[in-house]
Structure 1
């Protein structure tokens, strides 16, 4: 559909501010060259952006080494507005106040269980107000909030279809949130948000095709194809934890580690590794932890810690889990052909041990090579991903989706 002149000016303005964000300091002439726009078109849009305080200029009339005058340099004003990022986990809720470049200015967190029954959104609003007031941010400078939720969510309607760890089914998140917040809010699955965060500021930066896999108690993935988040027909794309990696095992009676969990996360997730390690130690009276497991369970972290010390039992349990995980990664990557695979979640603490083994299996079976990297944003992947989600979904001059291209 052909754009009206007014629509085209707005698109040009968005492309210009995106160019300045990614390439500043940059001159008007350089922008015109990069974007193949006329100098008057660029100059008009730049004047508007300066007036609206999205950008600022420096360097008027400075002499260059060749003599003459340097062009005025344009810079993105990352303090022009602020965004709230929230990551709702089954254990903890984390909220951050960010500038437009993803710099975290302040953060706060609280236990999910403490407020889940009495009003999670009310507490989130209370903590958000504290962040804004404490940092003396003018209210109208808050653009809005992005939220990552551990479950199947519909971004367009704001409905949480199901979030097992929160006990939410068909929960109208956005409708409820409007009772407590007076700015725009966008939600998505927490792993989708983390994938966007890694593409924005992490190890998937400047990549248009990304597979983000989060391995914790459960296993999920976020998929970015041709620079767009792929959510699927019913917003359930990326549920890699339901992948079956052993058909023989499926012939027997399959029992997930938690109700409604999938096969892969039940054999390769953190809880599964801990359970299998506990069982293996209980069957070995000579193991140093034999006495401990008579009255308590070992965790996945315990297994990795023991493996690092050379415990043969832990090494065997982890290798079996990693074979399943690597099979899942190979299957997903062969279908999606990503430029990079990012591994995140609780498993990050053992990334140095895990990544080489998975990379080895990927290289053996995948038709085209792909690098697997740890999530760079670590524990902030969720909240910064939520901020990135807001920037993509909220219709503004900063909308990161624009024409889908980076400079």
Structure 2
């Protein structure tokens, strides 16, 4: 076997053992050897290396039947940290997350609609610095950060190709944030980060195929197939907001006619509502729906119909085990869930309806920052 292949195998075995301890700890070396099929000698060597690097620690002795007591090993939660950032049109969320996914600190700050790219980056940099200092975490323990935002993202190069919600185009976000913070940076579409958190700790945990649909300032989806994010050729897989549902319909920001986003996004709902009534925000529309005002019922009836059709089409294309609905529409107007579920029954093809679970995200405002922190850890952690 080539030396390079041997080194790769050692690294893979080390990652396997660490993942096992992380997922099942506290656990004995003997049990690790049984599960992995590796020799007790190899396991002892790997655990020793991980202990020397600070990733694992020995826990209390426990009785394991007759004879000697077994020493258990568990992960060291605070061996490293990552930072997850969620940038939306009107707010920014930032969280420091430890190795096992516990949120150490989470803040939310306002973002002005008129705020430019440089102002947003300056605001993020200053607050991150304050969070690190406040929690007394050394920079050496932070392996990197990840930013989730709406739009078309060049994931490999960390470039925001286009974000209509933020009015950003061709912004080298990863490069700029690294220059300002010194940390390595991962940039991705916010729904792809959110489905990562759902897959590891949320409603998609334990499944191989899942779809997340997010409805808020825009509409989009993210897809996991066989345990991995499906990105497509240009990281745009799941951009259902730009599927055309009415070729004679509304004009979209992308320049096309009749995109789904022009009927389902908060901006589209509010624009149609203002043709009927002078309103301040989307919350006024939701309040009118609760008050059974007919115009609000009609507008949201159309919205839920288009959403149910979009869900039906996604299920036929990808046939997932679970479809997760998330976003402001469901958080601010939970009454709409009953309407969606009724239309789901009407429009979904029976063979896929029998095998899929439609559920709602329970991560609330933490989904993107948690997914970002997990994604940063997966992408940037490199065990020697």
Structure 1 match to 2:352: 368
Change (3 A) 1:168 1:34: same
CA distance in 2, matches of 1:311, 1:168: 37
- Select 1:274's aligned residue among 238, 255, 270: 270
Within 2, Cα distance between the matches of 1:356 and 1:153? Answer: 34
Q: How does 1:155-304 map to 2 (within 5 A)?
A: 155-245=155-245, 249-250=246-247, 252-256=248-252, 258=253, 260=255, 263-279=259-275, 282=276, 293=277, 296-297=278-279, 299-304=281-286
Determine helix, strand or coil for the equivalent of 1:123: helix
List structure 1 runs of 4+ shifted beyond 4 angstroms: 258-262
| Gap regions ≥5 residues in structure 1 | 283-292, 399-407
Please list, as runs of the form range in 1=range in 2, the aligned pairs for 1:31-50 lying within 5 A after superposition.
31-50=32-51
What is residue 289 of structure 1 aligned with on the other side?
Answer: none
- Distance in 1 separating the partners of 2:220 and 2:269: 16
| Contact kept? 1:270, 1:301, Cα under 8 Å | no
The question of whether the paired residues in 2 share the 8 Å contact of 1:216 and 1:346 is answered with yes
Matching residue of 1:128 = 128
Distance in 1 (alpha carbons) for counterparts of 2:27 and 2:254: 54
Deviation, structure 1 residue 362: 3.4
Using the TM superposition, give the Cα deviation of residue 168 of structure 1 relative to its aligned residue in structure 2, in angstroms: 1.8
C-alpha contact (below 8 Å) 1:115/1:123 kept by paired residues = no
**1:283-315 deviation line (CA, Å, top 9, x unaligned):** xxxxxxxxxx2xx23644333333334444433
Contact 1:186–1:390 under 8 Å retained in 2: yes
| 1:154-213 CA-partner distances (Å, limit 9, x unpaired) | 121111111122222111112222321212111101111111121122111222212111
SS in 1 for 2:13: helix
Kept in 1, the 8 Å contact 2:117–2:168? The answer is no
Say whether residues 1:383 and 2:382 are aligned partners: no
Deviations 1:29-62 (A, max 9, x none): 22222222222222211111111111111123x4
> Unaligned regions of 5+ residues in structure 2, if any?
none
2:237 aligns to what SS in structure 1? coil
**Pairs aligned (count):** 377
Residue 340 of structure 2 aligns with which residue? 358
- Superposed, 1:100-119 pairs within 5 Å as 100-113=99-112, 116=116, 118-119=118-119
Question: Structure 1 residues 133 and 299 mapped into 2: Cα distance closer, same or farther (>3 Å)?
Answer: closer
Name the TM-score, length of structure 2 as normaliser: 0.90
Normalised by the size of structure 1, how large is the TM-score?
0.85
CA-based RMSD? 2.4
- 1:59 counterpart SS class: strand
- Residue 10 and residue 156 in structure 1: after superposition, are their counterparts in 2 closer, same or farther (change >3 A)? same
**Structure 1 residues 112, 277: CA separation in 2 closer, same or farther (over 3 Å shift)?**
closer
Q: CA deviation at 1:376?
A: 1.5
State the 1:271 CA deviation.
2.6
Q: Over residues 299-342 of structure 1, what are the superposed CA-to-partner deviations in whole Å (9 max), with x where a residue is unaligned? A: 44333333334444433322221111010011011111111111
Q: How much has 1:102 moved relative to structure 2?
A: 1.9
Q: For residues 138 and 324 of structure 2, what CA distance do their matches in structure 1 show?
A: 37
Confirm or deny: 8 A CA contact 1:359 1:371 kept in the other structure: no
Paired residues of 2:331 and 2:364 also in contact (CA < 8 A): no
In the alignment, the residues of structure 2 paired with residue 96 and residue 239 of structure 1 have an alpha-carbon distance, to the nearest angstrom, of 26
What CA deviation, in whole Å up to 9, does each residue of 1:85-133 have, x standing for no partner? Answer: 1111121122111111222212333333375254332332221111111
- After TM superposition, the structure 1 stretch with the greater mean CA deviation from structure 2, 120-129 or 183-192, is 120-129
Distance across 1 between alignment mates of 2:210 and 2:118:
38
C-alpha change, 1:305 and 1:72, in structure 2 (3 Å) is same
